[in-house]
Amino acid sequence: MELITILHSCHHFRGFVDQNARFSSNHKSIEIDIRPPKGSTAVCSRCHQSAPGYDQLAERRYEFIPFRIATSLTARVCRRKTCGGNCKRNFRYDEGMDRSAALASVPFTLAIAFASPQTTGQGPEKDWRQVCVRSTAAPLKIPAFANVEAEIDLQHCDSTALYYGFGRPADWTAALQCAYYQRSHPRRGDGDPFYGPGVLTMLYANGHGVPRNYDLAIRFACEDTWAADTELRIGHLEQLRDTHAATAGFDLCDDGTSGLMMGACESIQQRLSDVRRLKELDRISAKWSPQVKEAFKSLTAAEEAFAAARSGNEVDRSGTGREAFSLKEEGRLRDQFLSNLRRFSQGDVPSASLSINQSTDRELNETYQKIERSPDSLWNGGTIKPSGIRETERAWLQLRDAWAAFARLAYPRQSADTVRTQITRLRIQQLQALQPR
């Protein structure tokens, strides 16, 4: 109970309850359960409307070290899965977990590590340094390429895009040549764990474009100095090698726990998701007139400005996972943007009168003023501040006006009050999740 009290004082998950602090079975860590408060309303992270209930996903563990007296502290998180009604999308309770899950605002934080559910095998390789010394000392024969790319083309090649495809078929042969070129031309201070040796690790581990060779995969994992968690990755590869696994799904992100890897892997995920988003946008906009398409450019610019402001000002960026959480929020906003386009085009939004629009606007102002009037002491321990919310609010006002202007052309059957009310309700949900408690 005393530990719970300390956590509430220095690091409380907004919208969640800590309970059942206890030592683990080996007495080397402390475990704490985190759950949504009883009687709380579920809020869909896509349409931001209230949902009637939730399902629980499998238990997930988030490991961090806030106190010097304990090796680690693990939070077990239940996440809500499906909202009811028309949305039919995955949702998270009140968005609070995704904004705070980096555990970045703990004043005593020494390190952050998210346990990957995909990591399997013998666990970390404790002697990974010795493994790397032996591996990198072995002679390396670079394969001969049938079609050697010109130097000017290799200078601008993207081995990550060639490996994953991102909307086009993956070209592993080209990725192999590009990655070898990048390996011999390192970019100092770049911080990209996929650049060069990172992609080579995946190619050789999966046998993509080259015969599978786990020993070479381990070598390149050792050379990949930007990909932290080397002991986990090498242990994983050793397990695959020793069991003669014929996997095609090994990925650097399987063993990523550092803030840098979280950001890099989230970037990969968002680039893959952007392919899906672009296809949906093409489908939605297929019947738009040239005039509507021109107006959409202004709406897109306003949306991008708001997304940049919100991900920078309304996401806690005090921890090493800040880039991952900002990218994740930008992805959620892009999904919400598409959801709005889809629902407006289908007329799938509640009709609103002038009085409802005015009432919603008053609720928005009241919610915003609560944040503005809150004492500074409630905003300690993180990067989210009223000044940043104020800046984001200005960007949102521009976005709301852009939606109204666009809807007049694209959705003439939707009243201006309906459009403004829908966009305002979404913003109210965002502001309510930011209120200090």
* Distances 150 to 195, 314, 375 between C-alpha atoms, Å: 19, 45, 61
Give the domain-ending residue among 114, 144, 169.
Answer: 114
Q: How far apart are CA 175 and CA 47, in angstroms?
A: 38
Q: What is the pLDDT of residue 79?
A: 37
Q: How far apart are CA 56 and CA 63, in angstroms?
A: 20
> Do 358 and 239 sit in the same domain of this protein?
no
> Do 398 and 317 sit in the same domain of this protein?
yes
Q: How far apart are CA 219 and CA 347, in angstroms?
A: 56
Structure tokens at 51: 């949902």
pTM (two decimals): 0.70
Q: How many helices (H) and strands (E) does the chain have?
A: 15, 7
> Do 293 and 406 sit in the same domain of this protein?
yes
Give the domain-ending residue among 114, 144, 179.
Answer: 114
Q: How far apart are CA 393 and CA 398, in angstroms?
A: 9
Helix (H, G, I), strand (E, B) or coil at 185: coil
Q: What is the pLDDT of residue 4?
A: 62
> Do 36 and 136 sit in the same domain of this protein?
no
Q: What is the pLDDT of residue 353?
A: 96
Domain assignment present for residue 156? The answer is: yes
> Do 285 and 362 sit in the same domain of this protein?
yes
Domain assignment present for residue 375? The answer is: yes
Domain assignment present for residue 197? The answer is: yes
Question: Where do the H-state alpha helices sit in 286-318?
Answer: 290-313
> Do 239 and 281 sit in the same domain of this protein?
no
pLDDT digits 0-9 by tens, 198-220: 999 999 999 999 999 999 999 99
> Do 49 and 162 sit in the same domain of this protein?
no
> Do 89 and 233 sit in the same domain of this protein?
no
Q: What is the pLDDT of residue 128?
A: 87
Q: What is the pLDDT of residue 229?
A: 84
pLDDT digits 0-9 by tens, 272-303: 999 999 999 999 999 999 999 999 999 999 99
62-67 mean pLDDT: 49
Domain assignment present for residue 122? The answer is: no
Domain assignment present for residue 93? The answer is: yes
State the average pLDDT for the chain. 80
> Do 280 and 405 sit in the same domain of this protein?
yes
> Do 292 and 422 sit in the same domain of this protein?
yes
Give the strand pairing for 30-35 and 73-77: parallel
> Do 196 and 326 sit in the same domain of this protein?
no
Domain assignment present for residue 266? The answer is: no
Range of the domain at 95: 2-114
310-330 mean pLDDT: 92
Contact assessment for residue 15 and residue 433, using Cβ atoms and an 8 Å cutoff: yes
Of 148 and 60, more confident: 148
The model's confidence at residue 63, banded by pLDDT at 50, 70 and 90, is: low
Domain assignment present for residue 208? The answer is: yes
DSSP track, 408-424: HHH-TTS-HHHHHHHHH
> Do 77 and 226 sit in the same domain of this protein?
no
Domain assignment present for residue 263? The answer is: no
pLDDT digits 0-9 by tens, 167-208: 999 999 999 999 999 999 998 877 899 999 999 999 999 999
pLDDT digits 0-9 by tens, 134-143: 999 999 999 9
pLDDT greater than 90 at residue 311: yes
Give the strand pairing for 42-43 and 50-51: antiparallel
Domain count for the chain, please give it.
3
Of 5 and 391, more confident: 391
